Structure 1
Amino acid sequence: MSDKIVIGSEEWCSFPQLSIPAIKARVDSGAKTSALHAVNISPFTQNGEDWVKFDVNPIQNNTRAIINCRAPLVDKRVVKSSSGYREQRYVIKTEIQVGEAKWEIEVTLTNRDSMGFRMLLGREAMSGRLLVDPEKKYVLGQPSREELKEYYVKEEDNPKRLKIGLLASNPELYSNRRIMEAGEMRGHEMHFLNLKYCYMKLDADTPEIHYRGGRVLNDLDAVIPRIRPSMTFYGCALTRHFEALKVFSLNSSAAITQSRDKLFSLQLLLNSGVDIPTTGFASSPLDTNDLIRMVGGSPLVVKLLEGTQGKGVVLAETKKAAESVINAFKSLNANILVQEFIKEANGKDLRLFVIDGKVVATIQREALPGEFRANIHLGGTASLIRPTLEEKRIAVKAAKAMNLKVAGVDIIRSTKGPLLLEVNSSPGLEGIEGATNKDIAGEMIKAIEKNFKIKLSER
């Protein structure tokens, strides 16, 4: 027992093979396995062997310090967290250094943003080597602020500090919180701007945007519009006014406006060569039977043109039901879309997240048992999936056709091949970040930084 190393409940360690010079670890003998914070986790094959690449932010609350890692893949394992949540994780084997001692341990990769430590040292890694004194911390020493700066702070890690406004309605929404956090972690000055508290001054000489209490917002560098459907008209008008003031908008007002127009967006997509389910459009049609035949008969989906997020969508399983639904909408003088129902999709669709012309993450969404699903996503479960090259091509093409820098592109798999359902200009982050362990919010902030790096180089 005398040759064992005594450590405290918290210690600094390093991973030489991963080029991580210092990372703070929580020592937990109650946990069987060790866990390392990782994002952008992606398996690949090298010389016929399974490997995994991933990014590590070794310093808590700092996403500017990034280590790009790769290691041989040992296993995929279901791990139960302290909160009882079961998660499938990739497992690697790599060398750890604690003090002067080095040895090989197994580590699972997971997003630990919500935890207090980037590294958890479990009992399997400590067995036969370490003794824990829970009353002490950093028994083996800790790096100074200057040493950490030397390890991780580089000139290119410090882009111009930007003043960014998030235009939205609910500051507590997961997506909005994550975007605010991501911007702050990358060193920017973030402002949550509730749409209903903003108002505009239209003037040839001194146009302005004011916020509740009279604060003038003309000095923002960029805005991120996340406009709920009920606020589309005012939110896009506000975004348009920011653009007139030369404030960069991650998604432009024109792109958001056309993405919210179901018919116009489908026409734009078709004109760009993107396939969609066969769709008919009518304004209170008299030729109901022909409209039904036009999309292949029943079952079919009837959608209100002005409906949002699954509202005003009806699955008609028989011709008689379809006639009843269409005639009911007709009596309201409503504009409707009639669309073929893709039965073979079996309640599943893909959400591809596109940022700046690149698919950064993809999930498969599956309806809960017994849940109505009519070529739209209404909830259920989300899981990681690898899209085909064709699905990626369609997603990028769709975002480009809509002129959106950030888009959630929904695709359904059919016997005719992948079909595009919808392009969302304000896609949610919770499901896709949770399923993929990727920092999507951070990628959105990087897209803004990229725009300003281009502009700065042109000056």
Structure 2
Amino acid sequence: MLKNDSDKIIVGSEEWCAFPALGIPAIKARVDSGAKTSSIHAFNIHPFSRGGTPWVSFEIHPIQKERRTVVRCEAQIVDRRLVKSSTGISEKRYVIRTPLDFAGETWDIELTLANRDSMGYRMLLGREAMSGRMLVDPSESHRYGSRRTNDEVRALYGKHEQKSTGLKIGVLASNPDLYSNQRILEAGEERGHQMKFLNIKHCYMKLDAETPEIHYRGGRILNDLDAVIPRIRPSMTFYGCALTRQFESVGIYPLNSSQSISMSRDKLFSLQLLLSSGLDIPTTGFANSPIDTADLIDMVGGAPLIVKLLQGTQGRGVVLAETRKAAESVIGAFKSLKANLLVQEFVKEADGKDLRLFVIDNRVVASMQRTAAPGEFRANVHQGGSTSVIKITADERKLAIKAAKTLGLKVAGVDIIRSRKGPLLLEVNSSPGLEGIENATGKDIAGQMISAIEKKLGWRRPLGTMPEDPEMLLDEELA
């Protein structure tokens, strides 16, 4: 029922909402009259059919910046709608209708289901839900319900903590506090898996024909894992790949194999493999002796050119030589240190920009453009560069997928530049960072990595609260 302005509820910029039909007694919402439709955080979204009617089951983390509390929900699907996110990306989302309890009143509103883990709020209250009932005063907040701590909100949910009933998955890496490693652990836990961070330096191996083993500091044997996700820093490539091979030898599935990681880390070998598969790269030269420097410079078209250390990573060990004299000086300096290097043509029209395409299980699941910081020639977020969402071409998509396949990588960050000749492949990273691309695109990349393991091992999440009804079959068309 529509109200006069004097009777409307005055709300602030953020308010507490409740959805009794979904089992959500309190969730903090960002009040946004600029958004048409309301949205709520949802993951593990599974469409199904009940009595011939489309329904959806999903899970919610209702508490800000907290993943331990999980509420499982079911609702009838009223629509599947194309929605543009705040990052400018359009995606199809399921739409449900459910009663909203607010300020002592109850009315039905529509909610789109979207993973909002990268957003500031687990819910957004849009203008359709407020129309005829609310007025917004952006200078205020929590007009209905005082500010609450996470502990106070958690008490409202009782025992809703996620139980680990799924796969046993190890993250083989060096830094447990790194954003990418944290996100992978969280993504696995929220899907009900038992996640374990494994420090590469704390692992050791027993090589034995009958009982090969991997041990962890303190004597724990790791042979009971179902899968490992290698996240090996360049300085640990040799030992990290040896450990990954050991996991493979005892039947534990690695998301990226030891062989694929080894190939990707050898820049010269990987470029040779990519070229043999018909993939285009910038013209590149390699020589072992500084005596051949002049010819090396000429073979890539002369200065300006790029000099790269074979062992460099994240933009380190990459130098732009703008003149022939500068190129000779840089190459000579690196060679005097007995460092192996590549020289590569400088693609001026790239204008300090490159593309990072994230490939999982032979699909490009996300892409972004990286732009160099002022005064820099190379796009690198680790050196002050910026990121933005970009639409890639069909050729760029094919190039990224074929590059990952060539090196045998299930997960890869493929770097591409745009040139007059078309897209050129720069590098393929076997342990790509997640922070930049998740923040730029708003996509749950870590969750898709876990899904790739589930698919490979044939694991399906139990539908739990959904009744065992023969009519409740997953609708693949809706999915």
Compute the TM-score of the two structures, normalised by the length of structure 1.
0.77
Q: For residue 221 of structure 1, what is the amino acid of its counterpart?
A: D
In 1: Cα distance, 2:257 partner to 2:113 partner: 37
Name the residue aligned to 1:118. Answer: 122
Between the two proteins, the alignment pairs up a number of residues equal to 409
Q: For residue 233 of structure 2, what is the amino acid of its counterpart?
A: R
Q: For residue 80 of structure 2, what is the amino acid of its counterpart?
A: R
Name the residue aligned to 1:71. Answer: 81
Q: Determine if the alignment matches structure 1 residue 134 to structure 2 residue 140.
A: no
Q: For residue 17 of structure 2, what is the amino acid of its counterpart?
A: E
In 1: Cα distance, 2:452 partner to 2:74 partner: 17
Name the residue aligned to 2:189. Answer: 184
Which stretch of structure 1 is more off in the superposition, 407-416 or 30-39? 30-39
Name the residue aligned to 1:141. Answer: none
**Using a 3 Å threshold, how does the CA distance of structure 1 residues 187 and 430 change in structure 2: closer, same or farther?**
same
Q: For residue 220 of structure 1, what is the amino acid of its counterpart?
A: L
Is the Cα–Cα contact under 8 Å of residues 26 and 117 in structure 1 kept in the other structure? Answer: no
For residues 190-269 of structure 1, the aligned pairs below 5 Å read: 190-269=195-274
**Using a 3 Å threshold, how does the CA distance of structure 1 residues 63 and 250 change in structure 2: closer, same or farther?**
farther
**Using a 3 Å threshold, how does the CA distance of structure 1 residues 225 and 379 change in structure 2: closer, same or farther?**
farther
Q: For residue 239 of structure 1, what is the amino acid of its counterpart?
A: T
Instruction: Tell me which of 441, 448, 451 is aligned to 2:446.
Output: 441
Name the residue aligned to 2:17. Answer: 11
Is the Cα–Cα contact under 8 Å of residues 208 and 218 in structure 1 kept in the other structure? Answer: yes
Q: For residue 134 of structure 1, what is the amino acid of its counterpart?
A: G
In 2: Cα distance, 1:250 partner to 1:63 partner: 29
Which stretch of structure 1 is more off in the superposition, 364-373 or 404-413? 364-373
Q: For residue 402 of structure 1, what is the amino acid of its counterpart?
A: L
Name the residue aligned to 2:317. Answer: 312
SS at match of 1:330: helix
Name the residue aligned to 1:274. Answer: 279
In 2: Cα distance, 1:66 partner to 1:271 partner: 51
Over the aligned positions, Cα root-mean-square deviation in angstroms equals 4.1
In 2: Cα distance, 1:229 partner to 1:64 partner: 40
In 2: Cα distance, 1:169 partner to 1:29 partner: 37
SS at match of 1:419: strand
Residue 301 of structure 1, CA deviation: 0.9
Is the Cα–Cα contact under 8 Å of residues 165 and 191 in structure 1 kept in the other structure? Answer: yes
Residue 253 of structure 1, CA deviation: 0.4
In 2: Cα distance, 1:116 partner to 1:340 partner: 43
Compute the TM-score of the two structures, normalised by the length of structure 2.
0.74
Cα distance per residue 1:305-327 (max 9 Å; x no partner): 23333222221101111112222
Q: Determine if the alignment matches structure 1 residue 329 to structure 2 residue 340.
A: no
In 2: Cα distance, 1:64 partner to 1:248 partner: 29
Residue 282 of structure 1, CA deviation: 0.4
**Using a 3 Å threshold, how does the CA distance of structure 1 residues 172 and 366 change in structure 2: closer, same or farther?**
same
Residue 3 of structure 1, CA deviation: 7.6
Structure 1 residue runs of 5 or longer lacking an equivalent are 15-19, 41-54, 78-86, 138-143, 149-157
Residue 64 of structure 1, CA deviation: 8.5
Is the Cα–Cα contact under 8 Å of residues 360 and 449 in structure 2 kept in the other structure? Answer: yes
Q: Determine if the alignment matches structure 1 residue 388 to structure 2 residue 393.
A: yes
In 2: Cα distance, 1:118 partner to 1:136 partner: 16
Name the residue aligned to 1:140. Answer: none
In 2: Cα distance, 1:243 partner to 1:72 partner: 42
Name the residue aligned to 1:404. Answer: 409
Residue 287 of structure 1, CA deviation: 2.5
Residue 4 of structure 1, CA deviation: 6.5
**Using a 3 Å threshold, how does the CA distance of structure 1 residues 335 and 115 change in structure 2: closer, same or farther?**
closer
In 2: Cα distance, 1:350 partner to 1:63 partner: 37
Q: Determine if the alignment matches structure 1 residue 98 to structure 2 residue 108.
A: no
SS at match of 1:441: helix
For residues 332-371 of structure 1, the aligned pairs below 5 Å read: 332-371=337-376
Q: For residue 447 of structure 1, what is the amino acid of its counterpart?
A: A
Structure 2 residue runs of 5 or longer lacking an equivalent are 44-56, 136-142, 149-155, 461-479
Residue 198 of structure 1, CA deviation: 0.6
Is the Cα–Cα contact under 8 Å of residues 413 and 428 in structure 2 kept in the other structure? Answer: yes
Residue 22 of structure 1, CA deviation: 7.1
Residue 352 of structure 1, CA deviation: 0.3
